[in-house]
Chain A
Amino acid sequence: MEEDREITVVAKTEEIPTISEFIEELMRTSGFDTKEIMEVQLAAEEACTNIALYAYPGRVGNIHIKAKVGDGLQLNIEDDGTPFDPTKRDLPPTDADAEERPIGGLGIYLIKTYVDDVSYEFKEGKNVLRLVKNRA
């Protein structure tokens, strides 16, 4: 049985718990296990933190998440901030010494690790990041 849900929050890191709860409730009722839920929460947090920090310089904006659960989970994370494709960002070196490692840059790497598919499009003035998590 497919289930669709949506949520809109202000693009602030303070809203991360709201997004995490939205994902938890949807995935828990859809039969995903705790680890799968945390993996998707982490991927969503990384994406939404990026939006909160960089998408709306000097102004307030929103993050809109559309979730669809069927055979797997599909999350469309949308914002109408500065056009930006996070999937194009280079993956950070993981062997660098502490002194060489820049602070940050891990978000997209964690997203790609913890969901099964990541895609981006700029559509109708919105950045749309699509995350897919298949059932185990």
Chain B
Amino acid sequence: MKIIQLRCETMEINQTVINNIPIIAVSGRIDATTSKDLETALNDLIDQNNNKIVVDLAGVEYISSVGLRVMLAALKKVRPRQGDVKLASLQPFVREVFEITGFTKLFSIYPNQGEAISKMA
């Protein structure tokens, strides 16, 4: 029997706090189904008055426009409060999607989580 390993894994979110900054580390695929969990995680943080958030995408291999919209919605919520949503560690395909859609101009994007945290004012 021919077995093909499918790469359409689900999404995992791990949350930590470093230097009082909440870090959302995402792995897997951010698609129309899984993005709802990312949206919930972001909204929960923002509702708790966390306006400066780092989203670490090191483990994310795929993102669709729904995922982009979820992150933009979070950014639009925190910006009026002098907050920010900084992104870190974009994989090549994810970075390409951000570039094609112009989202690299909307977000501060860093090569790793540490730099994103250090640049959060």
CB atoms of B4 and A25 under 8 A apart: yes
- A18 → chain B, closest Cβ, in Å? 9
Smallest CB gap from B106: residue in A: A98
Interface bracket on A? 35 or more
* Known contacts A98-B79, A101-B106, A110-B97, A20 near B65 by CB under 8 Å: no
Contacts A41-B62, A46-B65, A106-B65; A16 near B76 (Cβ below 8 A): no
Question: How many A-B residue contacts, CB cutoff 8 Å?
Answer: 80
Minimal beta-carbon separation of B50 from chain A (angstroms): 19
Asked if B112 is at the interface of the complex by the 8 Å CB criterion, the answer is no
Q: Give the B-binding residues of A (Cβ under 8 A).
A: 13-14, 16-17, 20-21, 24-25, 28-29, 34-35, 38, 41-42, 45-46, 49, 52, 92-99, 101, 103-104, 106-107, 109-110, 113
The answer to whether B101 and A109 have CB atoms under 8 Å apart is: yes
Interface assignment of B105: CB less than 8 Å from any CB of chain A: yes
Bound complex: CA A35 to CA B91 (Å)? 12
- Residues B61 and A98 in contact, CB atoms below 8 Å apart: no
Q: Is the CB of A21 within 8 A of B101?
A: no
Contact of A49 among B64, B73, B75 (CB under 8 A): B64
Query: How many Å lie between the Cα of A28 and that of B79 in the bound state?
Result: 42
Q: Is B68 an interface residue (CB 8 A)?
A: yes
Majority secondary structure, A binding face: helix
- Identify B102's interface contact among A34, A38, A94, A103, CB under 8 A: A94
If the complex has contacts A25-B4, A103-B72, are A113 and B100 also in contact, measured as CB distance less than 8 A?
yes
Contact call A17/B97, Cβ cutoff below 8 A = no
B49 located at the interface, meaning its Cβ lies under 8 Å from any Cβ of chain A in the complex:
no
Contact, CB under 8 Å: A35 / B8: no
Chain B residues positioned under 8 Å from A98 (CB to CB): 72, 75-76, 79, 106
Roughly how many angstroms separate A3 CA and B73 CA in the complex, as a whole number? Answer: 41
Chain A residues, CB < 8 A from B73: 103
